[in-house]
Chains A and B, each alone.
Chain A
Amino acid sequence: MQYENSYPVKGGDFKEAGKVAVLVKMALKKMGVAPEILRRAAIAAYESEVNIISYARMGTIRLQVRDDHIRIDVEDEGPGIEDIELAMRPGYSTATELIRELGFGAGMGLVNIKSCSDEFEITSEVNQGTKLRILFRIPETG
């Protein structure tokens, strides 16, 4: 199994939010990935997508599927995160009213991405951008 795709995400484009997540889900479903795993991957993609739209100027979500894992790399150009530990804290949020109207901005996004995944790495450079590396293991079947 080998699949790769890259999805661009535009900052501030609130009405598009969730599009990439649905595309990620559809792609994984087509590949025959188990529902429980593809759901977790799509949830992580959704929160990542909303974060790019909410906080960054632009970014990409890159999906890679292999026999034994799914990898999602999120990269954006934006303000970056000064205090990652603080940003990861459940409930911490700098979301604007616009983001909250959409149903997001409760400060649970990054925590949920982490808890959905099997491996999670976040790095950020202030005034440059943020990177997430999210991994989902696919257990051997049969």
Chain B
Amino acid sequence: MSRELFKFRGGVHPPEHKAESNGRPVHPAPLPKTLVIPLRQHIGTPAKPVVEVGERVLKGQLIGAADGYISCAVHASSSGIVTAIGPAAVPHVSGLPDDCITIETDGRDEWIAHAPLDWRAMEPADLRMRLRDMGIAGLGGAVFPSAVKLDPGAARHCPTLIVNGGECEPWITCDDLLMRTRADEILAGVAIMRHLLGSTEVLVGIEDNKPEAIAAMRDAAAGLDFPVEVVPVPAVYPGGGAKQMIETLTGRQVPSGKLSTDIGIQVFNVGTAHALARAVHHGEPLIARLVTVTGHVLRPQNFEVLIGTPMHALITLAGDREGATGVLMGGPMMGVPMPSLDVPVVKATNCILVKSAELFPPLPKALPCIRCTRCADACPAELQPQELFRFAKAGDFGRAQEYHLFDCIECGCCSYVCPSHIPLVDFYRYAKSEIWAREREKRAADLARERHEFRQFRLEREKKEKAEKLAAKAQAKRAEIAADATASGAPDAEAKKALIAAALARAQAKKAEAAPKNTDNLSPETQHEIEEIETRRAKIRELAHQPLEPEEKP
């Protein structure tokens, strides 16, 4: 077992803090009274609700359907009544609400009928769609719909499948515990992945600070009918990043702006493999996951948590303590601060880290950049963070992009080493979201320009048409009069009648023309929208015209 390993550039060694939580066994978290299930838990289009308020749902029932290719379904994590569909607090740093389905649980935890899939017999495309509809998304943090990643695409097969058990973020141990306790199921999921991707080589990368997990995975791998190489990799943050794991294990780098499948490698988190196995072998959609609750709590440990469980319930379970100064979702390097503790656990929640002043002292004030380039030495993306910082701070987003801002993986190594303590990553996030906003604005402006120009053109055309029509009419009239004059015998009344008839016809024509006004050149969606509005109006009109009898009857 001596595979040649490669070292990626940069990286840091923050204190690991794994021992706090990895010593206790995994506990199932109790069923909460209320489950709040966000429709946007994955990258891509949010799921579309398919249940109504007041409806009773069963555990595992589809409540939000995937909407499009890059999307993912969401399911009821337990049985109960849907009490609300609409904006609710979600675990996002902004604190802005997002659409969620709220379920009042009935305590019966009653499963919907479910059965294993005969995955070997299924068409790969069908199997992928099933996985999408079972809500399988990457559990390593990015929550990308797995069905998309399991599509080898035009290449037809993806020779190398890497299973990522790196878990390089300090404090987090959920993948560690999952590998220790459910190695068989993880590898069962890996078998399905391998089948879908047509991989010939399966590597499991685990940081060498998790010897129990490595042993458990090796044991499980020994009993498989295909070769799986479990490779301990040196513990260095962010060695568990997909690109870093690929480089460590294969020595290859994913080209900038490309996907790993372009070089024939696909990476999945161990948790995703486990969820996949549950889905295929048991027919269970993704409704639960392991969550590390650690930091400033009495009993830091891992829980098996239903998606939608409020975070405060877990913190209470782990024993909340005085002096907490905030809660992070994720680890200290890349985690996001939670706006409140009422937010639910989602598919992306790998860790709930309670901060305290001792564990996370406030960061010292930032000094100006002294261009020492320690950040560049630490950057695993091999960027020049100090330059990105300079451009982002000055609002020079064009230059920031030239310096590969979008290759930054926001790992935080640069901020970690910066002697001036500059919150560098904040600047990159700010610059990225500004650039995206600008792109959006530009698209909106382009749309407006186009529509405006089209309108100008339409007005122009209408004017011209009108003028032409008028001219034609005038001519016709002149000809008519001339004709009348030649047929001098005709009585006056007759001519008048003809004129009136002509005017009437004109008015009619005009009326017909007025109706559509600007309803031509509409996209089908807009057309649809208008129709909806019309029906709504019709309803209102109807209601307004209805006699008030029912109320008078009693």
Query: Does chain A bind chain B?
Result: no
Which residues of B pack against A, CB within 8 Å? none
Which residues of A pack against B, CB within 8 Å? none
